[in-house]
Amino acid sequence: MSTEPAAPRFAPRGSTAAIEEGNRLAPKFDADGLLTAVAVDADDGTVLMVAHMNAQALALTIETGQAHYFSRSRQKLWKKGEESGHVQTLVELRVDCDQDAVVMRVRMADLPGGLPGAACHTGHRSCFFRSVPLGAAPTPDLTLTVNEPGKLFDPAAVYAAPKKTDIPHF
């Protein structure tokens, strides 16, 4: 488990102009104390995962340069890779106009055998491994297409206790 810093200190929210056009970090956390965090591959731009951060997760991400999240299902701070080894090292962190979302350009640790790192607990490189057909109103029979070649790792071999509640759940 990561060491916990002192209570995170961000700038006050201030005016809309200051938030949207200024140079201070004044993040907007929602009613649950969370903002949205998107991790993309720093090299090819693939969106790897979307998750959430509370103030502490955001502060630890900034301080350590490694992605930390807050798991809504487990209601706990979570350093990506603390169980799987699939750490995400930040190349860049960006914040959006109203400061309720961040984008991290990350590099993931390689898997054993030299396979590229995988962000998804299912074993796929990206959580977004399925696409939705466009052009007609959705129905329950709409069929998703799997876009990736397959799993890069076996979740059962990586997560010590492959129970639903122990698996990082974005």
Regarding 112 and contact with a second copy (CB under 8 A), the answer is: no
Residue 98 among known ligand-binding residues: yes
Determine the residue type at 106.
Answer: V
Q: For residues 134 and 161, which CB has a smaller minimum distance to a second copy in the complex?
A: 134
Q: Which amino acid is at 99?
A: Q
Assign 2 to helix, strand or coil: coil
- Which residues inside 59-98 make contact with a second copy, applying CB under 8 A? 59, 62-63, 65, 90, 92-98
Q: Compute φ and ψ for 71, nearest 5 degrees.
A: -80, 120
Q: In whole angstroms, what is the distance from residue 136 CA to residue 36 CA?
A: 29
Applying CB under 8 A, the site for a second copy has a residue count of 68
- Pick the closer one to a second copy by CB: 14 or 114: 14
How far out from the chain centre does Cα 101 lie? 11
**The tokens of 16 are what?**
């809309």
Phi, psi of 8 (to 5 degrees): -60, 145
* Known binding-site residue numbers for Mg(2+): 96, 98, 100
Q: Applying CB under 8 A, which residues contact a second copy?
A: 5-6, 8-12, 16, 20-25, 36, 38, 40, 44-47, 49-50, 58-59, 62-63, 65, 90, 92-98, 100-103, 120-122, 124, 127-147, 164, 169-170
* Known binding-site residue numbers: 96-98, 100, 120, 127
